[in-house]
Structure 1
């Protein structure tokens, strides 16, 4: 009886101490660099936000990457990873809302990931304002930002200020800033303001290609752009066919006329000449009929007139 009580006491003590045992913490893939690109009024009258994620080269693939975006923006515009050729292709993802934020979890097979979404841009006359809020995320070592100055913009102001700015080949000015490692983990915000007189979009004026990844390696061309040329091409084909038909008809008619002319001008054959020469001959003296080969009259002996 005492032994049973002793075992019960030991089991109770073990059960109470079990939660105190160390629990393995959830691991996150190491993000060596996360660049937040802010492109205002690029292809929509709003802010295009792009997360450019670069994983640690030692990361085992495939892996799952989770990052927060505002829940108010809804589904992301694109979640993509790079394929072996370096092109962006769509990646499978899930979206889980928790309060004001939604966690985008993407299953990736490469070290580079890109997440895009659109967020409203505050417009007060010619003044534009936008505040990007980063709530922080585990595993992010380096956090930086890139701001694309929209075409026709002026008086661009950024807080925190950028470390550099330069114009690129597309003619737009880009502002680059780097944030502290603590901001990457605990959170920070970027405030942007600028002045712009028009509502023109940068992508439309510069004819820039979209930043969306291709869903397939090859794309089907838009046949609508060729519709205005179809009547012209059809007309050219008809003209060419008519020209060929006319040339062939002319050649056939010329050959027929030549054959007819050849038959008309053909000289008389010896047989036809013989028939003319075989006409009856009569003696002019006695009237006796002679043959064409006679030279003298067979009756009176007078020389016949030929």
Structure 2
């Protein structure tokens, strides 16, 4: 009888502590758990992202098990974050029990990432509502939730309140709530409500519409403005160099095109020197201004130019003339 009572007592104790043994995994806890909720981001559902950080003292690899809604189906991604920030896909198994599916995988690095799409977003006209629940599978030292406001959404309310949103680098508004430590088995629930007049997805809207006007602080514009003095100075130097080159080239062309003094052939100079003063006088040379109609002319046998009867050499080419 006492043995039966002891067995029943042991079974009762095991039943009471079974959830924490199954999901607490012998004292394993999470250093950080960040939950991102992105409604209507790239699909009509809500993209849920777990960013799981293990304590530095956790021996690796280690097996992790998380519960996700059964309606989500298979996870979109299960990955280990490498030291350089890249994500490497990890193998996993799933087991569905009622409304929940237990996702089990092996963490090979201190940071893991799990993604799934939750279709349980209620839509009524322009009104949207979604509720998320963390089932407390592990104790967490630092638990936080971040909600991304859809591109065309307005009248955004979140419970519990996360305060005013902040615009991120992508131009979208983000709401962040930091809730500190949670115990194993301690659940957490947040509800999101907003209005949206269309079914456009955030990724589609971002690719079509400009996130915001480009101002002086924009990265590309500020870089161009800082380089503007150097650009203007470089253009000025190019203009000065081009002007100097043009001035030098034009002066050179003028020098090459200026007429050079023509020199008489040596034979012609010798013929002129051999003439007597009487032959070089105007009265003896009809080409120097005196026209004598009775004067006979001789033509050069070499170039055909006309010469005076008293010329002994051609005045054009210097060839000796044949006297009649």
**1:67, CA displacement in angstroms?**
1.1
Q: Corresponding residue for 2:193?
A: 193
Q: Corresponding residue for 1:93?
A: 92
Q: Equivalents in 2 of 1:13, 1:127: separation in Å?
A: 62
Please list, as runs of the form range in 1=range in 2, the aligned pairs for 1:66-77 lying within 5 A after superposition: 66-77=65-76
Unaligned runs of 5+ in 1: 1-11, 209-306
Q: Equivalents in 2 of 1:17, 1:93: separation in Å?
A: 39
**1:90, CA displacement in angstroms?**
0.6
Please list, as runs of the form range in 1=range in 2, the aligned pairs for 1:58-207 lying within 5 A after superposition: 58-120=57-119, 121-163=121-163, 165-179=165-179, 181-182=181-182, 185-207=185-207
Q: Corresponding residue for 2:42?
A: 43
Classify 1:149/1:13 alpha carbon distance in 2 versus 1 (closer, same or farther; 3 Å): closer
Q: Corresponding residue for 1:221?
A: none
Tell me the SS of whatever aligns to 1:128.
Answer: strand
Q: Is the 8 A contact 2:140 2:183 kept in 1?
A: no
- Deviation digits for residues 43-97 of structure 1 (CA, Å, limit 9, x no counterpart): 0111111111111111111111111101121111111111232201111111112
Q: Equivalents in 1 of 2:95, 2:157: separation in Å?
A: 34
Q: Equivalents in 2 of 1:177, 1:62: separation in Å?
A: 30
What RMSD in Å do the two structures reach over aligned CA positions? 2.8
Q: Equivalents in 2 of 1:186, 1:133: separation in Å?
A: 11
Please list, as runs of the form range in 1=range in 2, the aligned pairs for 1:254-293 lying within 5 A after superposition: none
Q: Equivalents in 1 of 2:200, 2:27: separation in Å?
A: 41
For normalisation by structure 1, the TM-score amounts to: 0.58
Q: Equivalents in 1 of 2:183, 2:116: separation in Å?
A: 21
Q: Is the 8 A contact 1:140 1:185 kept in 2?
A: no
The yes-or-no answer on 1:52 pairing with 2:51 is yes
Q: Equivalents in 2 of 1:51, 1:163: separation in Å?
A: 22
Classify 1:152/1:15 alpha carbon distance in 2 versus 1 (closer, same or farther; 3 Å): closer
Q: Is the 8 A contact 1:147 1:175 kept in 2?
A: yes
**1:184, CA displacement in angstroms?**
6.5
- Deviation digits for residues 18-67 of structure 1 (CA, Å, limit 9, x no counterpart): 997x9996415321111111001100111111111111111111111111
Q: Is the 8 A contact 1:39 1:49 kept in 2?
A: yes
Tell me the SS of whatever aligns to 1:141.
Answer: strand
Unaligned runs of 5+ in 2: 209-324
Tell me the SS of whatever aligns to 1:76.
Answer: coil
